[in-house]
Structure 1
Amino acid sequence: MGRAKITMEPISDPKKRKFTFNIRNENMIQKARQLATLCDINVPMILYSDDQETPQIFSPDHDQLKRLIDVYKRTGPEGIKYYALSDYYTDRKIKIEEELVKAKKKNLEAKFPSWFDFLDNCTEAGLRKFAEGLEKKNH
């Protein structure tokens, strides 16, 4: 069986809050290291709590972190793409709608074919005969 869900609200006991922060902080740094190793990317992370005097910085390459901060300062917040949870659902909805349109088109083509494969290899005389047959059915 799974663990009980934790309600997302601030922990009132300062001792428990600090303990939880330290545990989750270590886990975040471990995940950042794994992501950096597995994907061969630089994963800088700045963690700051009101209890700390200075922010905790994690980066395998401090020069890369400085370059990233400089790029951020030059481009500004409007140059950085933020991807929120609502963006994820919007993108997912668009993708599902596109798949639905394709499926509807495929079903329509299966139900009412617009082209017969045997016409691809037909001679001109055969095509004329087929057209005459269609005309006879329309009258």
Structure 2
Amino acid sequence: MARRKLHLQYILKNSARRATFKKRRANLLKKASELATLCDVDACVVVYGEGESRPEVWPPSATEATRILGRFQAMPETDRCYNMMDMEAFLTQRIAKLKQQLEKARRDNHERETALLLNQVIAGRRPGLVGLSKEELESLGSMVQRRIEDVENAKKLLDEKEESNPALAAALQLPEATLLLEPPVPYTAVTGNMEVDAPELDPRGWLLDVTNKAGGIGGGENGSFGGDLAGASTSGGGFGDMFQLGNTMAAGFPWADHEPFFPPAM
């Protein structure tokens, strides 16, 4: 489980501050002991607690602690103060770091605002760039110029790759759009003229002839429409001639039969 971020600030509550001090001081003395044992170095820790008359010191031996502190005091001032940090130096370093973070956040926000403005201009929601301040116009022009330079650099890089690799250049070339049509399937058309010699028929005369032979529409003994089915199928009247005429119209074709196929012979 990840530890939550610790906010370094003064603890206002007395009981919580004293409990945190005791816990942190014990951890600090433990770390100093581990450092001296594992790395075989001289380490000394002196911690003054709030309201305490005597400090907490490690190593526990006063002679060893005095020796290490005397060695530290004998060092040149430049070496002694190289990594030394008091509360004032700590706060100054902290403030400088926060200022850097604030400046970076401002630059990022300004870049995002300019990019959003550029998208609005491209989408046509800022016709004529009306209502933009001088600073916004300068930022917008600077971003457009950077985008153009990025495109030009990308094109140059691609051209260099194509010159060094001919196979890549050939692969990147797009073929011209051509319409590919399949050739038509060859075939042979067989044509022929079939002539059928048939006399021209007058529909009115044909209808009168059928009517006379059938004895009139609605009357007659054998071939009339009003007669029975047997009479109409067996007589040699108008219906027989009609079927004969239908058969003769197919004369001359391969499927034509020389004999009438309907009605069947009795």
TM-score (normalizing by structure 1): 0.51
Contact 1:44–1:60 at 8 Å: present in 2 too? no
Per the alignment, residue 7 of structure 1 pairs with 7
Structure 1: where are the runs of 5+ without partners? 87-139
CA contact (8 A) 1:47 1:55 kept: yes
Paired residues of 2:36 and 2:42 also in contact (CA < 8 A): yes
Equivalent residue number for residue 65 of structure 2: 65
Residues 3-46 of structure 1: CA distance to partner in whole angstroms, max 9, x if unpaired? Answer: 22121001011100010011111111111111111011231110
Q: Take 1:36 and 1:80, find their aligned partners in 2: how far apart are those partners?
A: 19
Deviations 1:79-125 (A, max 9, x none): 51422698xxxxxxxxxxxxxxxxxxxxxxxxxxxxxxxxxxxxxxx
Change (3 A) 1:53 1:84: closer
* Structure 1 residues 27 and 12, CA gap change in structure 2 (3 angstroms): same
Superposition deviation, residue 70 in structure 1:
2.6
**Corresponding position of 1:27:** 27
Report % sequence identity: 26
Q: Secondary structure at the match of 2:63?
A: helix
Deviation at 1:61, TM superposition (A): 4.4
SS of the residue corresponding to residue 5 of structure 1 reads coil
The aligned runs of 1:123-134 (5 Å cut-off) are none
Partners of 1:77 and 1:54 in 2: how far apart?
Answer: 27
Query: Which aligned pairs between 1:1-139 and structure 2 lie closer than 5 A?
Result: 1-59=1-59, 61-75=61-75, 77-78=77-78, 80-83=80-83
How far is the alpha carbon of 1:63 from its aligned partner? Answer: 2.1
Q: Is the 8 A contact 2:58 2:65 kept in 1?
A: no
Higher mean C-alpha deviation, range 25-34 or range 70-79: 70-79
Amino acid at match of 1:23: K
**Alignment TM-score, normalising by the size of structure 2:** 0.29
Q: CA RMSD in A?
A: 2.6
Give the AA of the match of 1:43.
Answer: A
Cα distance in 2 between the residues matched to 1:84 and 1:68: 16
Counterparts of 2:50 and 2:60 in 1: how far apart (Å)?
24
* Cα distance in structure 1, aligned partners of 2:46 and 2:24: 14
Quick check: which one's helix share is greater? Answer: 1
Code of the aligned partner of 1:22:
K
Residues 6 and 55 of structure 1, relative CA distance in 2, 3 Å threshold: same
**Structure with more contact order per residue of length (Cα contacts < 8 Å, sep ≥ 6):** 1
CA deviation string 1:25-79 (max 9, x = no partner): 1111111111111011231110012321211111154323212323344457455
Provide the C-alpha distance between the structure 2 equivalents of 1:84 and 1:69, rounded to a whole number of angstroms. Answer: 14
Contact 1:42 1:60 in 2 (8 A): no
Q: Cα distance, 1:2 vs. partner? A: 1.5
Counterpart Cα distance in 1 of 2:78 and 2:42: 22
Letter in 2 for 1:32: A
Q: 1:84 to 1:46 in 2, by over 3 A?
A: closer
Pairs aligned (count)? 86
Letter in 1 for 2:63: D
